[in-house]
Amino acid sequence: GAGVSQSPSNKVTEKGKDVELRCDPISGHTALYWYRQRLGQGLEFLIYFQGNSAPDKSGLPSDRFSAERTGESVSTLTIQRTQQEDSAVYLCASSSPDPGGRSFGQGTRLTVV
Amino acid sequence: EDQVTQSPEALRLQEGESSSLNCSYTVSGLRGLFWYRQDPGKGPEFLFTLYSAGEEKEKERLKATLTKKESFLHITAPKPEDSATYLCAVSGGYNKLIFGAGTRLAVHP
């Protein structure tokens, strides 16, 4: 497929556990973004990667959140010591350098119990 | 602070009943205003980008317009398959999009 791929699609975890979410961007897209969407709310920016530049981490809500990207390919978002307020859909998007529309994945629905 | 407000929160229309969704924004140096459609359980689907006041773009039954303070998404003769949440976002820089909370549209036959 040519779209942004995210895995897993659903994740249920116990409070206090660490989770890792994966994003495969569209081939050739140099920019990659992570967003969080709580139920009934808009998207909240988390982090942005552009090529080999230092990532913009200004949206990460706490030091329990971190993300990595290997070159211009796969990215992982890690949440350590999960809390119930971390429950949300985590969306990944990628785009070409043109600031036009980003292409979003289907998201990972995270439930912390 | 960059901010996006969408109204109404929810809109119910009869099939064929045209209407408009509003997106009001404040941003330092608008680089683009984006409209997305989001179906339940799915990621947002890109619809339009508008860059400057006066610009308009159309796609099927949808037309997006932009002024210096707001954007409208006009839906002409909607069909039930147009039911979705419509998200507006602005970019004051290339790296961040600031999203509104969305308008949930329901079109009934």
CA B80 to chain CA mean position, Å: 18
- List the single best residue of B59, B97, B98 to mutate versus A (max A Cβ within 10 A): B97
Residues whose CB falls within 8 Å of the CB of residue A70, separated by 6 or more in sequence, listed in order: none
- A99 interaction partners in chain B (CB closer than 8 Å): 31-32, 49, 91, 94
Cβ distance A101 to B49 less than 8 Å, yes or no, reads yes
A109, A7 Cβ separation under 8 angstroms: no
- A31 interaction partners in chain B (CB closer than 8 Å): 94-95
User: The tokens of B27 are what?
Assistant: 């941003």
pLDDT at res. A70: 84
**Top-confidence residue, B96 or A85:** A85
- B101 interaction partners in chain A (CB closer than 8 Å): 40-42
pLDDT at res. B103: 97
pLDDT in tens, B33-59: 999 999 998 999 999 999 999 999 999
Cβ distance B45 to A104 less than 8 Å, yes or no, reads yes
A28 Rama class: left (phi>0) / alpha (psi -120 to 50) / beta: left
pLDDT at res. A53: 86
Write out chain B's pLDDT in tens, 109 residues: 788 999 999 999 999 999 999 999 998 888 889 999 999 989 999 999 999 999 999 999 999 999 999 999 999 999 999 999 999 999 876 567 889 999 999 999 9
Q: Residue A14 — very low, low, confident or very high, per pLDDT cuts 50/70/90?
A: very high
Cβ distance A99 to B102 less than 8 Å, yes or no, reads no
- The structure tokens 């890792």 sit at A20
Radius of gyration, alpha carbons of chain B? 13
